[in-house]
Amino acid sequence: MPSAACTGPPMSESRPLRLVIFDFDGTLSDSGHFFMSVADQLAERFNFRRVCPAEAELLRHKSSREVIAYLGIPRWKMPLIARHLRNLVLRDAHRIELFPGTPDLLEKLDETGVKIALVTSNSERNARLILGDQHIARIDLFACGSSLFGKARKFRHVLKKLGIAPDQALAVGDETRDIDAAHEVGARAGAVLWGYASEAVLSAHRPDVLFAEPEDILDYVRRHRSPR
């Protein structure tokens, strides 16, 4: 994991933060190795392109949509693949751990008074299993089971449910689709550098801020949060 904070392009002045919306896989949960372990199984079952180790590194430099196109996955298959993958995660949730910095991040964010939401294409059951009871208690709202490119709709649901304006929310993820969804709804986009996509491709999608380590998220929120 990188050790130095990274700053994205300058952003305009916004109102103080009241909400952080987290992606789960690759952001809070270190699930990358698990997904790679079942990639060939998925490719065989759903008849899309297998990826060798060299290609896996290449794909880190592509956007989410480019990855789907490279693998040759038609859109109609994506919900079927997502459902099957959720079942595999449920079966093997004991193999998937949180990133080392996640517990401390959630605890200290909770202490700042900002709301915390989780928006993921994974299931709520899987997220809860991997998080554990102590960390579940720190999350104000779960909005799970989004389609691969359907996070913007989930973001709008979270904002409406919690009564928070888009410019008072920070959406944090590890893929270009997370940045795109945040931009679509008018929230601030934060991209982490310890997940799936490379820094270069994330930067090309112009997030408001890049985070090199979990502590950077906490520092950012403390600087921009709404006073209690």
Question: What is the edge-to-edge ordering of all strands in the sheet holding 209-211?
Answer: 141-144, 115-120, 19-22, 169-173, 188-192, 209-211
Cβ neighbours, 10 Å, residue 47: 11
Q: What is residue 12's predicted lDDT score, i.e. its pLDDT?
A: 44
Tell me 23's DSSP state: -
Percent of residues, the chain, with pLDDT higher than 90: 81
Taking residues 63-87, report their average pLDDT: 92
Whole-model pTM: value is 0.90
Give 58's pLDDT tier (boundaries 50, 70, 90): confident
Report the mean per-residue pLDDT for the chain: 91
> pLDDT tier at 52 (50, 70, 90 boundaries)?
confident
Q: CA end-to-end span of the chain, whole Å?
A: 32
Mean pLDDT of 31-38: 90
pLDDT at 5 over 80: no
Q: Are 90 and 129 in contact (CB under 8 A)?
A: yes
Residue 6: predicted pLDDT: 53
Indicate the pLDDT class of residue 179, thresholds 50, 70 and 90: very high
- Is 106 in contact with 116 (CB distance < 8 Å)? yes
What pLDDT score does 189 carry?
98
The tokens for 76 are 């109609």
Strands 169-173 and 19-22: parallel
Instruction: For 82-123, write each residue's pLDDT tens digit.
Output: 999 999 999 999 999 999 999 999 999 999 999 999 999 999
Structure confidence by residue, pLDDT tens digits, 19-31: 999 999 999 999 9
Residue 207 buriedness (CB in 10 A; 0-12 / 13-18 / 19+): buried
- Residue 2, pLDDT > 70, answer no
